[in-house]
Structure 1
């Protein structure tokens, strides 16, 4: 990150965790995160408070709250403070998510059998296919999650 460039906000980092850490095959609900964090005995949470943090309406949680969120999502607590670490963790999470797809796993495993030249050729082919795919119309992004929890207190 260059000097003067501002990294992702707490809300953006938390939102990214919701989108990528999905051991249940779906995003956690605000209630699941609140209960999970509270059970870690690192702070009391409500689903509204989790939503407020994720939406950016609250942006100054206690250290204990951040530690609980980090423990719940299984990332280092420094994820919320260190943009370089957050970027590395996000890359690892993206790879783990991608490898859940059988087709991607198959491609990766086949690449293991290639020599260096073969892997470089495969990378060039994949880059070209990606470039062509980005130019196709009708590739919609995933819809944003807009579920607002019922009004409970922190």
Structure 2
């Protein structure tokens, strides 16, 4: 959702719709349906292939690698090539989440581990997983 919300078309305040992006990608010779984009945005579909990501990267004016985590001090990514879904990226649109990430990155490795363990304990106590779903599958 991040690119849809932050790459607003010139002259308007509302973000791109999946239908608008789909049409623009098709005009440029790509293939991606509005329904598929909507499923990516809601997290119903994850891990799109480069076949879909290339035209999206071109449309939004970002490098293809933008869709994948790379070693980056700001984000604290540990492994190159780790897939990042659009749902993951949309979480970063929240200013509170960005502040937590910036604070986390400033910590030492032992402190980061302690924070990760604390988060995992809190998730277990609430019956949730890191994805935010109930551990019973809800």
- Please, what TM-score do these two structures have when normalized by structure 2? 0.45
* Greater per-residue helix proportion: 1
Computing the radius of gyration from Cα coordinates, the structure with the larger value is: 1
Q: TM-score, normalised by structure 1?
A: 0.41
